[in-house]
A = this chain, B = another copy of it.
């Protein structure tokens, strides 16, 4: 062992002890007659001191130690002349008697400080240096704490950690698979799992009753800023349960984490129907840290000669408290904001509910003060509120208002990352209509069971069928989702049929699951958390990449190891594949 203690554990209680520490040189303060070195490791920083009383040559040697040198120092713990109450080891320092350089370091390409001067690209290329920085290190430590807290909670609830395979079978339904050519079965490919969905269902058929796994999943999608091609899921499944049982189990897990990790106690998590989430928040993952609901205004706006509103399918608005003082420039800027293609509104109508009880709006021409008051009442606006109104096709308006609602909350500081507002969104639709391909897709996945009471609509009005499907939402982010699954082959076949699978295609892709359902499948359901996002939000920072040790960039590259990369010809030959040149 190169040390007797780590750099975070010595205190006044150790004064007089002879210790050996090892770590990295964080700072070297050379005061001529004295040198102070901050020695850093994973556990903290301890000050080393050298002066004229040091052993021969030691003071001089200490001056040569550069940033990030790895050293081993032995000496006595002494009381510090100027204590640093902010550092847990700030009462003491080590007066060094022996010093050994374990490794030298080039000057790092960016500063290893809480606030680094390194840009994103540089930090990713030298990720091993980036991780030395406290914020990233703390993120990884937090992730490990959450990971084991989840495991112990679930194990305590009787869940069994079972590993499912990574080399599985490609299925065209859903997102694109990453595939792996098989050398032993030429011309054939494995796929990497997008989730262990079918395997966890097979484990329920197998009688394992309660399963969980913290597992990597893979999706070959065009990456957005916050998506990774490989991501981690806390994957769970239970037998002999109904929706209520699953929700209660994982509500327990989440509240346990909130307490363990953030010290926040909460009794229960509110629930909201999917239809209400869309109606009042324009989103299936509402951020309920603040209210600012969407209100329908067709009734109170129609018949005043304002054709834009009169002809709109939906007129709806939100009341933003404390913004009635917005200048013309500010409202214009908001108008531009909603007109951006990402939002896609045609325009924005605003009403200021002044503190003195008067109203001012961008549609004063059509609406009297009395009319505006009625609109304000419909929006539950207060004196000081700024009402923002959009109109048009129902779903579009709600979605745009949902985005505007988040934007206004961000501007007002209502999205405090240290406040946690979890929410269950329940009763999702079974299907989702896709305009482009003109067909229904499974909103969750093809194994989700329809609500018994909606089964009669399956043929006549599939879009109206609700599912036993639920999401858990945290601060406006989906952190998990699941469903009660279909467990009989007949319903499963009907579902495949509605999704446009021929019986042959269904058999080809999911025959093993249909087969399994013939041998006594129990009723079952489950849930999967997205661990990367869950950790990021609990860490108070929504940048997922900062909570992954070695993330990939937006083109799916690992710029540190420079992957993906070209293969040797022999490797391709062995796999019997060839690259098609464009």
**A residues neighboring B (CB under 8 Å):** 1-3, 6, 22, 24, 40-43, 68-70, 72, 102-106, 108, 126-132, 137, 140-141, 143-144, 147-148, 151-152, 155, 160-170, 172, 176-192, 198-199, 202-203, 205-210, 216, 218, 220, 222-223, 229-230, 232, 240-242, 244-245, 487-488, 511-512, 515-523, 548-550, 552, 555-558, 560-568, 571, 573-582
Q: How far is the CB of A129 from chain B (nearest CB, A)?
A: 6
- Contact assessment for B169 and A561 in the assembled complex, using a CB-CB cutoff below 8 Å: yes
- Contact assessment for A207 and B137 in the assembled complex, using a CB-CB cutoff below 8 Å: yes
- Contact assessment for B229 and A189 in the assembled complex, using a CB-CB cutoff below 8 Å: no
* Contact of A577 (CB < 8 Å), options: B108, B140, B578: B578
C-alpha spacing A220/B72, complex, angstroms: 42
- Contact assessment for B164 and A562 in the assembled complex, using a CB-CB cutoff below 8 Å: no
- Contact assessment for A148 and B152 in the assembled complex, using a CB-CB cutoff below 8 Å: yes
* Contact of A106 (CB < 8 Å), options: B182, B210, B518: B518
Closest to A198 in B: B561
Q: How far is the CB of A51 from chain B (nearest CB, A)?
A: 25
- Contact assessment for A558 and B168 in the assembled complex, using a CB-CB cutoff below 8 Å: yes
Interface centre among A41, A160, A487, A565, by most chain B C-beta atoms within 10 angstroms, is: A565
- Contact assessment for B550 and A518 in the assembled complex, using a CB-CB cutoff below 8 Å: no
- Contact assessment for A230 and B167 in the assembled complex, using a CB-CB cutoff below 8 Å: yes
* Contact of A103 (CB < 8 Å), options: B40, B144, B521: B521
- Contact assessment for A68 and B519 in the assembled complex, using a CB-CB cutoff below 8 Å: yes
- Contact assessment for A575 and B179 in the assembled complex, using a CB-CB cutoff below 8 Å: yes
- Contact assessment for A488 and B103 in the assembled complex, using a CB-CB cutoff below 8 Å: yes
* Contact of A188 (CB < 8 Å), options: B188, B244, B565: B565
- Contact assessment for A172 and B106 in the assembled complex, using a CB-CB cutoff below 8 Å: no
Q: How far is the CB of A16 from chain B (nearest CB, A)?
A: 24
Selected A-B contacts with CB under 8 Å, 15 pairs: A2-B242, A103-B521, A103-B523, A126-B515, A131-B206, A140-B160, A140-B208, A141-B160, A168-B561, A168-B563, A169-B558, A182-B556, A188-B566, A573-B580, A577-B580
- Contact assessment for B188 and A160 in the assembled complex, using a CB-CB cutoff below 8 Å: no
Residues of B within 8 A of A43 (CB): 209
Q: How far is the CB of A239 from chain B (nearest CB, A)?
A: 8
Residues of B within 8 A of A515 (CB): 126
- Contact assessment for B575 and A578 in the assembled complex, using a CB-CB cutoff below 8 Å: no
- Contact assessment for A512 and B103 in the assembled complex, using a CB-CB cutoff below 8 Å: no
Known: A41-B207, A222-B184, A563-B190. A579 touches B579 (CB 8 A): no
Residues of B within 8 A of A244 (CB): 1
C-alpha spacing A258/B132, complex, angstroms: 36
- Contact assessment for A42 and B184 in the assembled complex, using a CB-CB cutoff below 8 Å: no
Known: A166-B218, A579-B577. A207 touches B24 (CB 8 A): yes
- Contact assessment for A2 and B564 in the assembled complex, using a CB-CB cutoff below 8 Å: no
Residues of B within 8 A of A566 (CB): 187-189
